[in-house]
Structure 1
Amino acid sequence: MSYQENYIKQLHTLLRLVTDSVEGYKSAAEHVDSTEYKDLFNNISRQRESIAAEFRERISGYGGNAEVESPDLMASLHRSWMGIKTAMTKKDDQAVMESCRNGDQALLDAFDDILQGDLLNNADLKTFIMDQRLKVNEVFLDLDDRYFKLFKKDPSI
């Protein structure tokens, strides 16, 4: 496999995961009662759509097909788990927040795995992926902060 083919493959992996996170956050917005969290999750979903568009543009620039062919199995499982967990907790904002944090942690792990591979041979691509990872990490840190503040509101948790 050539470097360019590998780059396209790795970019597709991240595109599938980011696209799935768009759907995950749309679902999260539907499963919370708090208007604040609905707005937050919808905003994150829009941001992820923007990140996905940047990945599509980069894939096209390498001559690849920028369409998402199939959702990533792990991301789909995460979304399914979030639906099950939410159904069990009856729209528990904290459970939805936890699920979103876990999904973003998995996405960050995927970014890290890819950044440790052959992409090191292309500084421009590595910088692009690191920039996208930073955007996801900023959201993760915000969710992490919000999640632990929920514990302060209800110390019995």
Structure 2
Amino acid sequence: MKYSEEISNKLNQLLEKNYDAEKGYLNAMEQVDSSKLKMFFKRRASERSEFAKELRTEILQYGEIPEDSGSLKGTLHRNWMTLKSTFTSNDEEAILEEAIKGEKASLEEYNDVLSERNLPPSIDSLLIKHKNAIQAAINTEKLHEELVS
């Protein structure tokens, strides 16, 4: 496998994760009543959409084809969030817990890609920027969870 294809495959994995996160946040936004949480989820969805655009641009620069949708695993997680919220009467704390779980999974994927030291500096810095924003979102979600409890 050539270098550009290898990097694009890694970026495509992250791209799928960002599609999943964006859809998950939009789904969570529909499940809560709190206007503050709705706005929070909307901002996170917008952020993930921006991450996806940046990753698509990088993949295209390497002459490869970006993924155009999320993963089956992400769809299953969103369905689980919807089902869980149905049984917990749109319990905002439970929805936040699932959002945190999804963000932690994203963080692990970013860490896995970043642990491979063969990335060009421009991609490395882009992924670190995304990773730091995801970590900040996790910290903010934990704070919101404490406030909702």
Superposition TM-score, scaled by structure 1 size: 0.88
Is 1:102 aligned to residue 98 of structure 2? Answer: no
Q: Which runs of 5+ in 2 are unaligned?
A: none
Match of 2:126 in 1: 128
Q: Compared with structure 1, are the counterparts of its residues 121 and 36 closer, same or farther at alpha carbon in structure 2 (3 Å cutoff)? A: closer
The amino acid across from 1:133 in the alignment is: K
Between the aligned partners of 1:120 and 1:141, the Cα distance in structure 2 is: 29
Between the aligned partners of 1:115 and 1:67, the Cα distance in structure 2 is: 20
From 113, 130, 138, the counterpart of 2:136: 138
Q: Is the 8 A contact 2:100 2:142 kept in 1?
A: yes
Q: Which runs of 5+ in 1 are unaligned?
A: 152-157
Name the Cα RMSD after superposition.
Answer: 1.4
Specify the SS of the correspondent of 1:63.
Answer: coil
Deviations along 1:89-129, whole A, 9 cap, x unmatched? 11111111111111101111111111112x53422221221
Q: Is the 8 A contact 1:22 1:45 kept in 2?
A: yes
Between the aligned partners of 1:121 and 1:35, the Cα distance in structure 2 is: 40
Aligned-pair CA distance for 1:131: 1.1
Between the aligned partners of 2:30 and 2:119, the Cα distance in structure 1 is: 42
Between the aligned partners of 1:61 and 1:121, the Cα distance in structure 2 is: 14
Q: Is the 8 A contact 1:59 1:66 kept in 2?
A: yes
Q: Is the 8 A contact 1:104 1:136 kept in 2?
A: yes
Q: Is the 8 A contact 1:120 1:126 kept in 2?
A: no
Match of 1:149 in 2: 147
Q: Is the 8 A contact 1:14 1:110 kept in 2?
A: yes
Between the aligned partners of 1:139 and 1:129, the Cα distance in structure 2 is: 15
The amino acid across from 1:34 in the alignment is: S
Aligned-pair CA distance for 1:65: 1.4
Match of 2:79 in 1: 80
Between the aligned partners of 1:77 and 1:113, the Cα distance in structure 2 is: 22
Is 1:19 aligned to residue 41 of structure 2? Answer: no
Deviations along 1:21-67, whole A, 9 cap, x unmatched? 11100000000011111111111111111111111111111111134
Q: How many residues of Structure 1 are paired with residues of Structure 2 in the alignment? A: 149
Match of 1:46 in 2: 46
Superposition TM-score, scaled by structure 2 size: 0.93
Aligned-pair CA distance for 1:147: 1.0
Specify the SS of the correspondent of 1:147.
Answer: helix
